[in-house]
Amino acid sequence: MEETIKELIELLQSASPIIWQALLKQAHNEAAMLLIWSVILTPVVALSAIWSIKFTKENDPIPEILAGAWIMTAILATILIQIVMAAYLRLSNPEFYALKYFLDGLAQK
């Protein structure tokens, strides 16, 4: 399977280098977009955690609100981790995503 994918990548690189470079650029652009989202979401997660800690330290916190605050923080942190992992995958193996975009385009026709 890996050998077939390598052969397909070599075919695309030699047959149409312009398309291949565009597909690689798209993989890098998507990774950059995901990193921007992670930069935007990081302060939100931090503020949510700070708010949750502050609310926990109050004398008589309402349990439902306290649980909701920590659940919201956990959900946002999970989303942030998934975004960063997706960006890392696109940066570490852009050829795979370039090939994926190409094959997805063929499958739609």
Helix (H, G, I), strand (E, B) or coil at 93: coil
- For the entire predicted model, the pTM comes to 0.71
What ranges in the chain are assigned the alpha helix state H? 2-15, 17-57, 63-92, 94-108
**Per-residue pLDDT tens over the stretch 79-88:** 999 999 999 9
- Model confidence at 39, pLDDT cuts 50, 70, 90, reads very high
Q: What is the mean pLDDT of residues 50-64?
A: 77
Burial (CB < 10 A; 0-12, 13-18, 19+), residue 52, is buried
In whole angstroms, what is the distance from residue 98 CA to residue 96 CA? Answer: 5
93-108 in b/e burial notation, b at 16+ Cβ within 10 A? ebbebbbebbeeeeee
pLDDT at 82: 95
